[in-house]
Structure 1
Amino acid sequence: MPKYQEIANILRTRIKNNTYPPDSLLPNQTDLVEEFGVSRMTVKKAIGILAMEGLVYSQRGAGTKILNHPFLKKDTTALTVYEGLSTEMGKAGRKLVSQVIDFQVEFPDQTIQEKLMLTEEQPIYSIVRLRILEDQPFILEYTYMPVHLVPNLTRGHLESSIYRYVKEELGVQFAGAYRTIAADKSTAYDQQYLDCKADDPVLEIEQIVYQKNGSPIEFSRSRNRYDVRAYSYLDVQH
């Protein structure tokens, strides 16, 4: 991730958690350059992203103001971020709990074989977790990972952070992720665990995460309440 995007993510989190409250001014660029150890141009790019998202307004000689009515109203994650929900919420200082609903090893069906480039004889972990944010049901996740690529995965890892275990203990490096977004009707599981109504729509994110060698290491489906979670994508024309 480019440094300016990383800085924009940090500043966005501070705006959302009221470290920088509405109508206040963002620290001046000189202070941000010193804090992050980057060039003024990098800081300008980061602030430019926040301005295009409607979070701040910059005026020459008057500084950069935090807007009262930012564009982002729900819990919103950039589609280009896939560092893991535990890491994301940890950086924001928010309490996240993972409730394990189902955890087992099984052989993949044809769909999972195609998504993870496996044979029918290669076992996978099949995981269902409810992510609870600040004591409220947040996301229902279905995750599938090859056992040979993620050995010795335990319930303890599921209750804390799978990505932290994969990256820090196993030393796996991620290259990127492919995501699709679709609306769906709520299922019985959604209604039970996300407290959805039978006629509520659900936002489903399908994701395949790839290692640096190009092989997929995770296929997941995240079920999101339409009125709680949102995803954003910034398209800047160069």
Structure 2
Amino acid sequence: MARAKYLEVAEKLKKRITDNVYSKEEPLPDQEAFAQEFNVSRLTVKKAFDGLERQGLIYKQSGLGTFVAGDIPIKSPTDTPANAFTGLQNQLGKDKVKSDILHFSVEFPDPQMQNNLSLKRNEPIYNIVRLRNYDEKPLIIEHAFMPVKLVPDLDEKILHSSIYNYIHQKLHLKFGHAYRKIRAAKPDKYDIKYLDAKSDDPMLELEQIIWLTNGQPIEYSVSRNRYDTRDYVLLDNNRF
């Protein structure tokens, strides 16, 4: 499955930043220059810039350009942008993230899921629970629900890889917006069994609904990780 162009551009620019090709005191070349260099559209470069900004690698200043942010002392490898849409493999690396399927079924939605995903009671959904491992260590338990009509032919091969890549690259669907809640929670039996959580370990829980650009909800999910394994971050930028 081919990788999205903007992710390829972002990876190349990220390497240049980490290799100190660009100084944090000087603005980056403009988007049009990168579009010509990489033979992509300016929109592709903009999406790459947006992703790098969410990671805290660059920041934009109105009328001045885009700059390298430099080292962030409190940043760690598993920091995850709270407003990302790219999926775990694209955030942390395809070779570093592996998925174990804990549950996979097709069923009819209960009233709550009908409401969350704007479905009728006879419209089936996928019920998916996966353990996401990073560097061969358990990181996250993801419990996701998706409408079958929007994500057809989902199978275990895709679940072991990246559902988001399948949605974007195979089905050519685009995420529009998301509503996310991040909160502390007590561990449950799955956290203790699969995430090596102790009975008194706080858990970090992310609940979200993601909509497509046409306004249809495509995912309701809850993800949980142990307090000491993953952080959600948000880069704020006062551009004016």
Unpaired stretches in structure 1, ≥5 consecutive residues: 1-5, 53-63
Residue 20 (1) aligns with residue 15 (2): no
Query: What residue is the counterpart of 1:143 in the other structure?
Result: 144
Most deviating of 160-169 and 134-143:
160-169
Measure the CA separation in 2 of the matches of 1:234 and 1:113.
34
Measure the CA separation in 2 of the matches of 1:65 and 1:125.
40
Query: What residue is the counterpart of 1:73 in the other structure?
Result: 76
Q: Secondary structure at the match of 1:165?
A: helix
CA contact (8 A) 1:175 1:210 kept: yes
| RMSD across aligned positions (CA) | 3.6
User: For the structure 1 residues 230 and 14, does the alpha-carbon distance in structure 2 shift closer, same or farther, using more than 3 Å as the test?
Assistant: farther
User: Which residue of 81, 87, 90 corresponds with 1:87?
Assistant: 90
Measure the CA separation in 2 of the matches of 1:160 and 1:140.
15
Query: What residue is the counterpart of 2:187 in the other structure?
Result: 186
Superposed counterparts of 1:225-236, under 5 Å: 225-236=226-237
Deviations 1:2-42 (A, max 9, x none): xxxx89x7599659xxx838xxx56337795389717xxx9
Residue 37 (1) aligns with residue 43 (2): no
CA contact (8 A) 2:207 2:222 kept: yes
Superposed counterparts of 1:21-170, under 5 Å: 25=20, 27-28=22-23, 33=29, 37=34, 50=57, 67=71, 70-73=73-76, 75-90=78-93, 94-170=95-171
Give the paired residue count: 211
Q: Which amino acid aligns with 1:201?
A: P
Query: What residue is the counterpart of 1:212 in the other structure?
Result: 213
Taking structure 1 as the reference length, the TM-score comes to: 0.75
Q: Secondary structure at the match of 2:29?
A: helix
User: For the structure 1 residues 11 and 198, does the alpha-carbon distance in structure 2 shift closer, same or farther, using more than 3 Å as the test?
Assistant: farther
Deviations 1:191-236 (A, max 9, x none): 1111100111111101111111101001110101110100111232
Measure the CA separation in 1 of the matches of 2:92 and 2:74.
20
Measure the CA separation in 1 of the matches of 2:58 and 2:153.
44
CA contact (8 A) 2:85 2:175 kept: no
Taking structure 2 as the reference length, the TM-score comes to: 0.75
Deviation at 1:73, TM superposition (A): 3.2
Unpaired stretches in structure 2, ≥5 consecutive residues: 1-6, 36-45, 60-67
CA contact (8 A) 1:74 1:228 kept: no
Q: Secondary structure at the match of 1:148?
A: coil
Residue 177 (1) aligns with residue 183 (2): no
Q: Which amino acid aligns with 1:128?
A: V
Q: Which amino acid aligns with 2:91?
A: E
Q: Secondary structure at the match of 1:231?
A: strand
